[in-house]
Amino acid sequence: MTAPSSPKKITWIIGLAAGALGIIGHYASVQILTEYNYTLLLVGFIALAIGTTFREL
């Protein structure tokens, strides 16, 4: 099994932004963010997990 690698900058930014929007949607009453807050958190987590698993992403 290979060691995890750091994700590319764009993958990290997408994951961080999606996670941050999900957290904001959970605590603030913003219609679109509140409706999809768990989905945004999941997308952010998956983006970071995939980014550390595959070197090209």
Range of the domain at 26: 9-53
Identify whether 3 is part of a domain. Answer: no
Q: For 17, what's the count of Cα atoms within 13 Å in the CB-facing half-sphere?
A: 6
Give the span between the Cα atoms of 8 and 15, in whole angstroms.
11
Longest CA–CA separation in the chain, Å: 43
Instruction: Flag whether 2 is in a domain.
Output: no
pLDDT in tens, 2-40: 788 888 999 999 999 999 999 999 999 999 999 999 999
CA 1 – CA 23 distance, rounded (Å):
33
Q: How many domains does the chain have?
A: 1
C-alpha 35 chain-centroid distance: 17
- Please list the alpha-helical segments (H only) found in the chain: 9-27, 31-35, 37-53
Is residue 14 in some structural domain?
yes
pTM: 0.83
Q: Is residue 49 in some structural domain? A: yes
How sure is the predictor about 1, in pLDDT bands with cuts at 50, 70 and 90?
Answer: low
User: Is residue 34 included in any domain, yes or no?
Assistant: yes
Q: What's the pLDDT tens digit per position in 32-54? A: 999 999 999 999 999 999 999 88
- The verdict on residue 29 lying in a domain is yes
Q: Note whether residue 20 is domain-resident.
A: yes
